A and B are shown apart, each in its own frame.
Chain A
Amino acid sequence: MQNNANEVAANTTKIEQSPSNFKVIVNEFRKDKVAVVSLILAIVIILASFIGSMVFNVGGATQVNIMDRYTAPGVNGYILGTDEGGRDMFKYLFFAARNSITIGISVALIIEFVGVVLGTISGYFGGWIDAVIMRLVDFWMIIPSLLVIIVLVTIVPQYNVISIILIMSAFYWMTTTRLMRSLVLSEARSEYVMASKTSGTSDFKIMFTGVLPNISSLIITDLTLTIASSIGIETALSFLGFGLPMQTPSLGTLIGYASNPDLIFNRWWVWFPAVLVLLTLSLSINFVGQALRRAADSRQRRA
Chain B
Amino acid sequence: MWKTILRRILIMIPQLFLLSVLVFILAKMMPGDPLSGSFQQGQSAAQMAALRQQYGLNNPWYIQYASWVGNMLHGDLGQSFVYKRSVTGLIGERAVNTFWLALMSTVILYVIAIPAGVIAGRYEGSKRDSAISVTSFILMAVPPFVFYLLALIFFGFFLQWFPTGGSVSSTYNPGTLGYVWDRIYHMILPALVAGIITTPSTIQYLRTGVIDNTNQDFVRTARSKGVPDRVIFNKHILRNSLLPIAAFMGNQITSLLGGSVILETVFSYPGMGQLFVSSMTSRDYPVVISLVLLFGFLTLLGNLLSDIIMSIVDPRIRIE
Provide the residues of chain A in CB contact with B142, threshold 8 Å: 279, 282-283
Q: Which residue of B lies closest to A38 (CB)?
A: B141
Q: Which residue of A lies closest to B145 (CB)?
A: A236
Indicate if the CB atoms of A282 and B280 lie closer than 8 Å: no
B18 at interface (Cβ–Cβ under 8 A)?
Answer: yes
**Nearest CB on B from A301, distance (A):** 15
Contact residues, B251-295 vs A (CB, 8 A): 258, 261-262, 265, 276-277, 280-281, 283, 288, 291-292, 295
Contact residues, B278-315 vs A (CB, 8 A): 280-281, 283, 288, 291-292, 295-296, 299-300, 303
Question: Knowing A142-B15, A148-B26, A155-B29 touch, does A239 contact B141 (C-beta < 8 A)?
Answer: no
| Stretch from B76-84, B92-100, B149-157, B166-174 forming part of the interface with A | B149-157
Question: Knowing A139-B18, A151-B292 touch, does A240 contact B262 (C-beta < 8 A)?
Answer: yes
Indicate if the CB atoms of B296 and A151 lie closer than 8 Å: no
| Stretch from A55-63, A190-198, A257-265 forming part of the interface with B | A257-265
B144 at interface (Cβ–Cβ under 8 A)?
Answer: yes
Provide the residues of chain A in CB contact with B291, threshold 8 Å: 147
What is the 8 Å Cβ interface bit string for chain A, positions 141-159, against chain B (1 contact, 0 not)?
1111111101110110000
A235 at interface (Cβ–Cβ under 8 A)?
Answer: yes
Contact residues, B11-42 vs A (CB, 8 A): 15, 18-19, 22, 26, 29-31
Indicate if the CB atoms of B149 and A151 lie closer than 8 Å: no
Indicate if the CB atoms of B277 and A240 lie closer than 8 Å: yes
B73 at interface (Cβ–Cβ under 8 A)?
Answer: no
The one of A144, A147, A285, A286 in contact with B137, judged by C-beta atoms closer than 8 angstroms, is A286
Q: How large is the interface on B (under 10, 10 to 19, 20 to 34, 35 or more residues)?
A: 35 or more
A111 at interface (Cβ–Cβ under 8 A)?
Answer: no
Q: How many residues of A contact B (CB 8 A)?
A: 39
The one of A142, A275, A285 in contact with B296, judged by C-beta atoms closer than 8 angstroms, is A142
Indicate if the CB atoms of B299 and A282 lie closer than 8 Å: no
Provide the residues of chain B in CB contact with A285, threshold 8 Å: 141
Indicate if the CB atoms of B292 and A144 lie closer than 8 Å: yes
How far, in angstroms, from A178 to B277 measured CA to CA in the complex? 30
**Nearest CB on A from B199, distance (A):** 16
A228 at interface (Cβ–Cβ under 8 A)?
Answer: yes
How far, in angstroms, from A232 to B148 measured CA to CA in the complex? 13
Q: Which residue of A lies closest to B262 (CB)?
A: A236
Indicate if the CB atoms of A265 and B262 lie closer than 8 Å: no
A278 at interface (Cβ–Cβ under 8 A)?
Answer: yes
How far, in angstroms, from A141 to B22 measured CA to CA in the complex? 13
Indicate if the CB atoms of A151 and B157 lie closer than 8 Å: no
Q: Which residue of B lies closest to A143 (CB)?
A: B296
Q: Which residue of B lies closest to A156 (CB)?
A: B29
B228 at interface (Cβ–Cβ under 8 A)?
Answer: no
Provide the residues of chain B in CB contact with A141, threshold 8 Å: 299, 303
How far, in angstroms, from A55 to B218 measured CA to CA in the complex? 65
12 sample A-B contacts, Cβ–Cβ < 8 Å, listed by A number: A138-B15, A139-B15, A142-B15, A144-B258, A144-B295, A150-B261, A150-B280, A154-B283, A261-B157, A283-B141, A283-B142, A286-B137
| 20 other A-B residue contacts (CB within 8 Å) besides A235-B145, A240-B265, A240-B277 | A143-B22, A144-B296, A145-B258, A146-B258, A147-B261, A147-B295, A150-B280, A151-B26, A151-B30, A151-B292, A231-B143, A236-B143, A240-B262, A252-B145, A265-B158, A282-B141, A282-B143, A283-B138, A283-B141, A285-B141
